[in-house]
Structure 1
Amino acid sequence: MGFALNDADRAFADWVGERAAELAATPPGEPVGRVDRPLLRRLRDLGLLPALFPGAHDGGPLREAPATRLCLLRERLARVDTHAETALALQGLGAYPLLQSGTAAQRRRWIPAVAAGEAVAAFALTEPGAGSDAAALALRAEPDGGGWRLHGEKTWISNAPDADFYTLFARTAPGARARGVTAFLVPADRPGLTGSSLEMLSEHALGHLVLDGVPVGADDVVGRPDEGFSVAMRTLDLFRPSVGAFAVGMADAALAAAREHTRGRHAFGAPLDRLQTVAHTLAEMATRVEAARLLVYAAAEEYDTGGDAVTLRAAMAKLLATETAQYVVDAAVQLHGARALRRGHLLERLYREVRAPRVYEGASEVQRQIIARHLPPIPGTPPTS
């Protein structure tokens, strides 16, 4: 690993790797681009989905998984099956706002079902006019008696339109930006909620939602009214390093493929990896992967120990790991040549899938802005006003 995992985490990583190998030959149970419910049940049966939701099946208190375990789950799964990795991760992203900030009744109703693969969760933040600037949400929550009616649209929503419920963020205080957003738990069968699937470059379940007067009440609020932005950011602080772990897993798979190919392929009278330009490319790829891995697990440890730099390190981890994965996969394709571009090749699939993580859960440009804003003061200088 190149990181000081304890014995329990090392054993957990090995266990995930063994379960991931069992998944590798499992064919998709649903058309690509839609939620694969049979795969979720397979993840449950192997214990991988319950590992994301400690307490959901053993009678203990419901709690979030440590960030380190979440990263190990995602990295080890991504090495062998990105389809399964994404299915698992989206269950976490959609349900963790309830786990972290929801009421006891909300958690009891939905978390065990999500952990069992019987309910599909979705995190609905992005809108047609509010992507990188998440505080600019326009979807309205208009007062209606003792509750609200939701009017507007959400787009690029993972697991939509197939999810069973959405953790959805709406504006309850016009003009207040981040201070006027409320998080709501919205079951998919609420009247006025419709959706459609979006066809994407990668095999990603993604959709568009339209809310036409969808009713929500006080029991549907996640956290407190007008404090939904902090609910979203708390979840993203945990999941951004794990996006980095997903990227590291993809990069590791690409690096392994490139090493195997260049060792066995001969050109100019020798294996490709004996050529200096190829050897140096492999060295650069390996160094960047290891650096990204170190930063991902440093960010996870910062979260698990309650450090003061969680947001900073989470942004750094996501930025470096996703940009690194893009470079490594591209370099692996270049080393393979045309064969890597053939439909069905491992690298052809990774090439399509590696692009999206640089955009979702905060684009690379947003991560740089977060990092710049959270840099610690320069020692010996007075604080800025």
Structure 2
Amino acid sequence: MTRFTGFALGTDQEEWCARLRALAAERLRPLAEKGEPGRVNRPLLAALGEEGLLGRVFTSGALELCLLRESLAYGCTEAETALALQGLGAYPVLRSGSDAQRERWLPGVRAGRTVAAFALSEPGAGSDAGALALEAVPEGGGGGPGRGKGGWRLSGEKCWISNAPEADFYTVFARTGEGPGAKGVSAFLVPADRPGLSGEPLDMLSPHPIGALAFDGVPVGPADLLGEPGRGFRVAMDTLNLFRPSVGAFAVGMARAALDATVAHTAARTAFGGVLGDLQAVAHRVAEMATRTEAARLLVYAAAEAYDADARSPQVPRRAAMAKLLATETAQYVVDHAVQLHGAAALRRGHLLEHLYREVRAPRIYEGASEVQRTIIAKELYREAREMQEAQEAQEAQEAQEVGEA
């Protein structure tokens, strides 16, 4: 696929996105409409698998993932969310799992038969992921934190977990105690049928499934680890750094759908002796909506390109945070103003904008709230400033030494 060149997509990329939008509207949306709000829609997942889109999540670069999510979101937000949740829950298995874990679970995820979930948030540790309280207690002979010869027992709670409690397995982050804060967190692959694991659904504003999980001495062993003990926070961040720009792409897809609906409506709706679009106040608002949407789209693509160029670059977290922040805040603005320009009709159940109005709120919170993204951005800016200052001082000291020796 032709790579993004900075300001425009290639012809093949545009055509692929158009096919995805058509697929979302023609095949996936009818399946979504038949689903029960708040429940995993397995027929929809199966269709995503049959179309090869779930498998593409694990082979795409960040930019291609953004194009995929943006295009699906334009035509069917439920399909986009179902795809994204599969990726979020299973990507740690792809990146950090053992060969046995990948062979056992990923084929079912790609086919849409196996439902994955990413279990990081807790009642007291949502945005502050380093404050996790779910405890992994070593058993079978001691050996210090994270060193139980017979494995661990997980005890505690998770909350706001997408696809819970219906997922077939969970990527779970728990405190094994190798160090304070994030340094003492490990990642585990926990099948849903493990004894001691239970859950309940939560009735939320958005229609996709979200639930809470309870861990009552759930047994896990070394074969369930994702990566190394005490390195679970890195597993989580590797996943989030990839998916944060694509959360922005999801938001851009919703914003573009709302914008297009608004342009069509204001170009045809008559009022005050003409069409709404002839009113300067309306035309200027639509222009602002379009400009913000385009700016968000370009920032999302730039963040994705940065990840694809070097996923370990220190600039990746800042770019990912900027992309998610701007895109999700922009989508909220665009959808809200689209509702205003449509009037009461947009508030009726079943209207596109009524649906988007409910969907658009959550992305400003999950995978790091907007406030967290601002904190990340500021932290990275000040880190870069300190490094530049230290480098300048070191150079000045070197030059002074050379002058003295001369």
TM-score when normalising by structure 2: 0.89
Aligned to 2:65: 70
Give every structure 1 segment of 4 or more consecutive aligned residues whose post-TM-superposition deviation is greater than 4 Å.
378-381
**Per the alignment, in what secondary structure is the counterpart of residue 123 of structure 1?**
strand
Equivalent residue letter for 1:111: L
Equivalent residue letter for 2:290: A
Unaligned runs of 5+ in 1: 55-64
**Per the alignment, in what secondary structure is the counterpart of residue 283 of structure 2?**
helix
Indicate which of 344, 349, 361 corresponds to 1:355. Answer: 361
Equivalent residue letter for 1:333: V
**1:79 Cα deviation after fit:** 0.4
Equivalent residue letter for 2:282: V
Tell me if the contact between 2:179 and 2:230 (Cα under 8 Å) persists in the aligned partners.
no
Equivalent residue letter for 2:263: R
Taking the aligned partners of 1:282 and 1:130, their CA distance within structure 2 comes to 39
Tell me if the contact between 2:172 and 2:190 (Cα under 8 Å) persists in the aligned partners.
yes
**1:144 Cα deviation after fit:** 1.2
Describe how 1:175-324 pairs up with structure 2 within 5 A: 176-306=180-310, 307-324=313-330
Aligned to 1:150: 154
Residues 1:3 and 2:10 aligned together = no
Residues 1:139 and 2:134 aligned together = yes
Indicate which of 89, 105, 110 corresponds to 2:105. Answer: 110
1:297-348, CA deviations, whole angstroms, 9 ceiling, x for partnerless residues?
0000001110441111000000000000000000000101111111111111
Taking the aligned partners of 1:226 and 1:8, their CA distance within structure 2 comes to 43
**1:232 Cα deviation after fit:** 0.1
Tell me if the contact between 2:22 and 2:75 (Cα under 8 Å) persists in the aligned partners.
no
Tell me if the contact between 2:89 and 2:118 (Cα under 8 Å) persists in the aligned partners.
yes
Equivalent residue letter for 1:299: A
Greater Cα shift, 302-311 or 77-86 = 302-311
Taking the aligned partners of 2:352 and 2:33, their CA distance within structure 1 comes to 16
Indicate which of 43, 47, 50 corresponds to 2:55. Answer: 50
1:86-109, CA deviations, whole angstroms, 9 ceiling, x for partnerless residues?
011100000001111111111111
Describe how 1:21-32 pairs up with structure 2 within 5 A: 21-22=25-26, 23-32=28-37
Residues 1:93 and 2:60 aligned together = no
Tell me if the contact between 1:28 and 1:39 (Cα under 8 Å) persists in the aligned partners.
no
Taking the aligned partners of 1:112 and 1:380, their CA distance within structure 2 comes to 44
Q: What is the identity percentage for the equivalent residue pairs of Structure 1 and Structure 2?
A: 66
Greater Cα shift, 248-257 or 8-17 = 8-17
Taking the aligned partners of 2:388 and 2:55, their CA distance within structure 1 comes to 48
Taking the aligned partners of 1:29 and 1:333, their CA distance within structure 2 comes to 25
Unaligned runs of 5+ in 2: 141-149, 394-406
Higher helix share: 2
Aligned to 2:143: none
Residues 1:382 and 2:389 aligned together = yes
1:232-282, CA deviations, whole angstroms, 9 ceiling, x for partnerless residues?
000000000000000000000110111111111111111101100000000
Pick the structure with greater CA Rg.
2
> What's the RMSD between the two structures over aligned residues?
1.9
1:104-150, CA deviations, whole angstroms, 9 ceiling, x for partnerless residues?
11111111110000100000000001011100000000001220000
**1:42 Cα deviation after fit:** 1.1
